Structure 1
Amino acid sequence: MNKSIGTMVMATSLLFGACNSKDIDIEVKVKAKENMENVIGRSDIKVKDGRMTPEVLWAMGRIGGMNVSPDGQKVVYTVAYYSVPENRSNREVFVMNADGTDNKQITKTAYSENEAVWIKGGKKIAFLCNESGSSQLWEMNPDGSDRKQLSRYDGDIEGFAFSPDEKKVLFISQVKTVKSTADKYPDLDKATGIIVTDLMYKHWDEWVTTAPHPFVADFDGKAISNPVDIMEGEPFESPMKPFGGIEQLAWNTTSDKIAYTSRKKTGKEYALSTNSDIYVYDLNTKETTNISEGIMGYDTNPQYSPDGKFIAWQSMERDGYESDQNRLMVMNLETGEKIFASKDFDSNVDGFVWSADAKALYFTGVWHGESQVYKIDLKDGNKITPLTSGMYDYAGVALLGENKLIVQRHSLSMGDEIYSIDLADNNKVAQLTTENKQIYDQLAIGKVEGRWMKTTDGKQMLTWVIYPPHFDPNKKYPTLLFCEGGPQSPVSQFWSYRWNMQIMAANDYIVVAPNRRGLPGFGMEWNEQISGDYGGQCMKDYFTAIDEMAKEPFVDKDRLGCVGASFGGFSVYWLAGHHNKRFKAFIAHDGIFNMEMQYLETEEMWFANWDMGGAYWEKQNATAQRTFANSPHLFVDKWDTPILCIHGEKDYRILANQGMAAFNAAVLRGVPAELLIYPDENHWVLKPQNGVLWQRTFFEWLDMWLKK
């Protein structure tokens, strides 16, 4: 459950930690400001033995959003840097030519600059910054000089988009939607109790008291004024929590309409339904129109075509199914005709952009464990053509002039860098940034290979195998089975700063990462098989992967471990009761232990209803009864293997009592166990020092049971 609707979080987790600081020598460059706040920037790093360590990961800059200048000649982007001692991060802004040359860091402040975009014909860069105490909109010259605050809004601005004529600004800010206890009882203003009367009182990691709303303000070139909430009085979200941003809203080409995404529901209705819509607000008439009405699934992320004649958005068909196929819808604004342009792509559209002439769309999507870039030709029967290939994941596709695309790319062996794709030169891919080259040049990276394995029902399953650096086929290695979360998140060429395959390999573990049943990129039948069958074929697929690898002479079949988070954590708990002594150590992070309790504890009830098949009290519901009969807690009597349980107490998706209950059960059963509990973390681990603790605990546990 580390994926909300249409959102793949495993590739963007800001999580990892440290093992052994003596293995590496890092000098973090720190600059003190007059106000004694520190600038966190690039680190000088020397890798002593050429192996990936947590310290190496923490020293890496993490590339964020990017934006192309109006003339297509410049690119602005951001990079985040982390400090473990200070337990925080900082984001800086960079500018480079469109071919990657003349790359310069233009900010060096103690404040995070975010969401940098070009404005005023490329003469200025607009960005968000908390320098004034709250997140406000600023501008600066392309060299970082002449910083000016454009907004002084009474609240944080969370995202923004200038209208094409730059006379207005669309921005996101939170509005209060729930009365507090103090509102009801003013004399109890110090009371901490929360009165709840309906569902969705908590979401992801927060008690729900506000909703993000889109605001439109005037811009005279110097300051922003007269903000208007275009959903004033509505208790709904736009963009939608927990992950929606400015990509869920869009200006039309004539600057007089705004398309926005919203699920106009609250309480129990919100908790049970994924049915969102695309609305268009007319700035002249102040009227709102639902342009996706009648489409019952999840509609989001609208984009107007450059000629203003069409609007495209991503759309899932079935209400209540958060992992339904994410298709690309295109609507003719003159006729109202709607078509599913990506109908011939048997996987998800994860991100898209219009071509400059509005005759095509470019999108990213996963297929066979790789996320590539594709083209949909709207003038040729919506023909789909792959533009890239190789063992990579591409993301964040955008136009770079008229004949190029700009993207981010990562793999199981390297974090995000920025690349261009030359559409006029046989789709030639060129690397534009080398943010972490100084680090990669010192690392010995473990080999990654894909193996196709025959499953118990005669299918073919792709499994990634990651080998230790300096792999010796004459040795025997302890081996880890990696269990993916989601449950329907792809095991693609992802890069994570916590579940990092190279750091596991660097600790002399072979990693086995199967694309088991219930993952996208292998057709919808493969993806959907898992719903209502958590303890079924997907678990047989896990056994297939580890059993096939255990046949290799270099795999020590007596030192096998099993690790995973979210649905991967559920998998670990389930496998602990069914593995027949295959494994010698388990690690479960934020996993479901008791399915009946999970059904009633989680917030997004649509997920539980779809994936579990219904409620456990529906005695005539065969799918639901099969689900709950496979709850891991029912098989604790068969637990016989050391297990580490990790959980965050701010995880409102899978409550921390699940991890604590699993730990308690193991201890009561006499099984060696350890519990790592975080009072201040959610479904992930976001704070640097907590990430260090996570990684140290992770490898200490594995080494204890698999190497001694």
Structure 2
Amino acid sequence: MPESPGSPESSAFSDLTEFIALPRISSLALSPDGTRLVTVVSELSADRTRFVGALWEVDPAGERPARRLTRSGRGESAPGFLPDGTLLFLSSRPVADPGEDEDDKREAALWSLPADGGEASRLLTGPGGIGEYATATGASRIALAAALLPGAADAEQDAQLREAREKAKVTAILHESVPVRYWDHDLGPGVPRVFTVADPAAASEPPAVVDCGERRISLYEGMALSPDGSLVAYAAAVGTLPDELRGVIVIADAVTGKQLRVLESPDAEFAEPAFTPDGRHLVCVRERRITWDEPGDLTLWLVDATDPADPGHDLLPDFDNWPHSPVVSPVPGEDGTPVVYFTADEGGHAPVFRLSAGSGALVRLTTSGAYSDLALSPDGGILYALRSAVDSPPAPVRLDPAAPGGEPVPLPCPGQVGELPGSLTEVHTTAEDGTALRAWLVLPSAAGADTPAPLLLWVHGGPQTSWNAWHWRWNPWVAAAAGYAVLLPDPALSTGYGQEMHERGWAHWGGAPYQDVMALTDAALLRGDLDPARTAMMGGSYGGYMANWIAGHTDRFKAIVTHASLWNMSAFGGVTDFPAYWMRRAGDPLVNTERYDLESPHLSAAKISTPMLVIHGDKDYRVPIGEALALWNDLARFEVPAKFLYFPDEGHWITKPNNIRIWYATVLGFLAHHVLGEEWQRPELL
């Protein structure tokens, strides 16, 4: 890895081989009795070519070290519990003693691990695998999502049709509605459906499966069972024309499969359902659909689970940020109404909030960090979560939900990364329109007035997100270990700064966001420990769009890295995986080209002189590879010094360990050449 003068001593962040080997924590599940807490720890496979997840048990009291529960070559994910303490998880691991005609299909199945220990056993499977499941706190019923091929009435017919396709070597998919792809995978040929199974572990014969209805497509995630297992709610999609497609929540009788109501609106999307303790009501996220004039807006919605006449009502009418991942306390508030916990981006953090549904009283529980995977003890008195921050990876913690501003208690678990190669601070300034702006600034250890560090501006994707959590794929500490200061701005369109921040950038993605990014860069470079003569810029997805926009509108940077980036907006809108979104925001390109002409980076191609590194994966369906090919061709046409790092088997994100290593090595080598003046060194294996 290229190093700048004064780089810190070796650490996991200065050795890419060590960096990709660091354990990674995700997911959190609490047993119904509150005594067991399970997370997923992902580590490198023995051949160091894959990340493999394993289930680990974490002591809720924080006294005992975590212990590993599972081990397999294909890994485990999505831990959950049945009321009797049986641990569930998804895995494509083979069974220990397969039957004579039982092939190893490598599809995800639902597995169980007894509460008192023993070997894991495969509980439920299907010809197309299981994609998601949910359990009830007071009943053994399980809800799960699985796909059936068109024409299949049940799993048996589905298996026959899949076998026929496989024998005939047919891979074609006939689509009769949109969309056809999502992020990095093709949709179909199976159609997602939701099923429920009552106590599959207790059945001596194959358990009875209840079909609760077609999910249509798996764009909208979220599934929940009522505490007694009598109702199931799941996110689905309705509509056939691109602009009609929207997310709804279907509520069905989990025992019979009869649909009881569909929560929908022509101007809103619904997702992330969670039942109240009595099972009669549902809390979910309601998102106002975007229009030409207005960005979306999110809130929490409370609705009667079975009464189609109840439209529901807004639980957060005065909350200016976007709530996510609602979790309803198993214990109602003193007034008998639900108590809801949720997270929302806010000012460079993602705190936990507590909402009393009856009074509307809202309390911010945490002061710093980004939280996810909330889980409440049975008495509602302890809250568990994963906490991360820009300077700390995800780790399980315990919180007191009755103590606002209390410090989270860390729970022993793998995943520590050691000492960071620098420190974290903030940069503040004011936009031209008077809006307060802020950014995180990662400073390398050696930065000082006598040794000012080169600055790397790194713009986040989204664009409606925030730099507030740890990122393994967009990790600024790797750059800090190479001697760079890294500026992580939250410009217009970022979350956590109120609805006005979205509105400022909505009409022109290259307008206020670009101006904010430049203003924060100027503010950072007033520091004496940064070198204004050695600056670079990079970004991925929307950050890649901004990289391309910046390249055509200023030559102030020595180098620009653009990953999975948008280049020709009118061409992009029709080939991305979800064209309806772009048409609603930017208009029909056959009728109104105003925004396409205003904000498409490719129209400034002839003005680019800054050296650029283009990076793209061929399996990226959100920003298809054609964007990178067109950009690369234009850079060559106008003789811009450039390189193209192409990943034939990766999508929007680079996920394979050795590809990740090459990604970082190439980025740092490119920056070292153009920013630090070092000789270009072609990364190993390229």
- Please state which band the TM-score falls in when normalised by the shorter chain: 0.7 to 0.9
Scaled by the length of structure 2, the TM-score of the pair is: 0.87
Deviations 1:275-324 (A, max 9, x none): 22221112455431334244631101111111224211111122669962
What is the Cα deviation at residue 352 of structure 1? 1.7
CA shift in 2, pair 1:570/1:425, >3 Å: closer
Instruction: Say if 1:591 and 1:659, in contact at 8 Å, map to a contact too.
Output: yes
CA shift in 2, pair 1:506/1:610, >3 Å: farther
Counterpart of 1:395? 372
Instruction: Say if 2:473 and 2:653, in contact at 8 Å, map to a contact too.
Output: no
What is the Cα deviation at residue 186 of structure 1? 9.4
Structure 1 segment 557-706 matched on structure 2, within 5 A: 557-579=532-554, 581-611=555-585, 613-618=586-591, 621=592, 624-706=593-675
Counterpart of 2:68? 105
CA shift in 2, pair 1:472/1:428, >3 Å: closer
Counterpart of 2:513? 538
**1:348 to 2:322 alignment:** yes
Counterpart of 2:193? 213
CA shift in 2, pair 1:459/1:309, >3 Å: same
What is the Cα deviation at residue 606 of structure 1? 2.4
Q: Which moved more, 1:321-330 or 1:559-568?
A: 321-330
- Aligned counterpart in structure 2 of residue 287 of structure 1, from 258, 265, 286: 258
Structure 1 segment 253-292 matched on structure 2, within 5 A: 253-266=227-240, 269=241, 271-273=242-244, 275-283=246-254, 286-292=257-263
- Aligned counterpart in structure 2 of residue 228 of structure 1, from 194, 206, 210: 210
SS at match of 1:635: helix
SS at match of 2:128: coil
Q: CA RMSD in A?
A: 2.9
Quote the Cα distance in structure 2 between the aligned partners of 1:87 and 1:323: 41
Percent sequence identity over aligned pairs: 24
SS at match of 2:130: coil
**1:87 to 2:64 alignment:** no
SS at match of 1:494: coil
Residue type of the partner of 1:411? A
Quote the Cα distance in structure 2 between the aligned partners of 1:91 and 1:518: 34
Instruction: Say if 1:317 and 1:324, in contact at 8 Å, map to a contact too.
Output: yes
**1:521 to 2:496 alignment:** yes
Quote the Cα distance in structure 1 between the aligned partners of 2:195 and 2:355: 33
Structure 1 segment 328-343 matched on structure 2, within 5 A: 328-333=300-305, 336=310, 338-343=312-317
SS at match of 1:214: strand
Residue type of the partner of 2:77? N
What is the Cα deviation at residue 644 of structure 1? 0.4
Quote the Cα distance in structure 1 between the aligned partners of 2:37 and 2:181: 39
CA shift in 2, pair 1:168/1:323, >3 Å: farther
**1:128 to 2:90 alignment:** yes
- Aligned counterpart in structure 2 of residue 57 of structure 1, from 19, 33, 36: 19
Scaled by the length of structure 1, the TM-score of the pair is: 0.84
- Aligned counterpart in structure 2 of residue 156 of structure 1, from 129, 139, 155: 129
Counterpart of 1:117? 80
Residue type of the partner of 2:225? W
What is the Cα deviation at residue 631 of structure 1? 1.4
Deviations 1:496-551 (A, max 9, x none): 11210111111111111211111111110111332230221111112112222233
- Aligned counterpart in structure 2 of residue 306 of structure 1, from 264, 277, 281: 277
Counterpart of 2:391? 413
- Aligned counterpart in structure 2 of residue 463 of structure 1, from 426, 439, 447: 439
What is the Cα deviation at residue 693 of structure 1? 1.3
Q: Which moved more, 1:334-343 or 1:345-354?
A: 334-343
Counterpart of 1:27? none
Q: Which moved more, 1:513-522 or 1:395-404?
A: 395-404
Quote the Cα distance in structure 1 between the aligned partners of 2:125 and 2:620: 33
Instruction: Say if 1:107 and 1:144, in contact at 8 Å, map to a contact too.
Output: no
CA shift in 2, pair 1:592/1:155, >3 Å: closer
CA shift in 2, pair 1:84/1:699, >3 Å: farther
CA shift in 2, pair 1:204/1:84, >3 Å: farther
Instruction: Say if 1:275 and 1:320, in contact at 8 Å, map to a contact too.
Output: no
**1:501 to 2:476 alignment:** yes
CA shift in 2, pair 1:126/1:190, >3 Å: closer
Counterpart of 1:6? none
Counterpart of 1:23? none
CA shift in 2, pair 1:349/1:152, >3 Å: closer
Quote the Cα distance in structure 2 between the aligned partners of 1:211 and 1:319: 27
SS at match of 1:55: helix
Quote the Cα distance in structure 1 between the aligned partners of 2:128 and 2:624: 31
Quote the Cα distance in structure 1 between the aligned partners of 2:151 and 2:488: 43
SS at match of 1:541: helix
Deviations 1:350-391 (A, max 9, x none): 2121123223111111111110011112232x111111102x
Quote the Cα distance in structure 2 between the aligned partners of 1:672 and 1:84: 39
Instruction: Say if 1:84 and 1:689, in contact at 8 Å, map to a contact too.
Output: no
Instruction: Say if 2:196 and 2:212, in contact at 8 Å, map to a contact too.
Output: yes
Quote the Cα distance in structure 2 between the aligned partners of 1:331 and 1:191: 45
- In structure 1, stretches of 5+ residues that fail to align are 1-17, 21-46
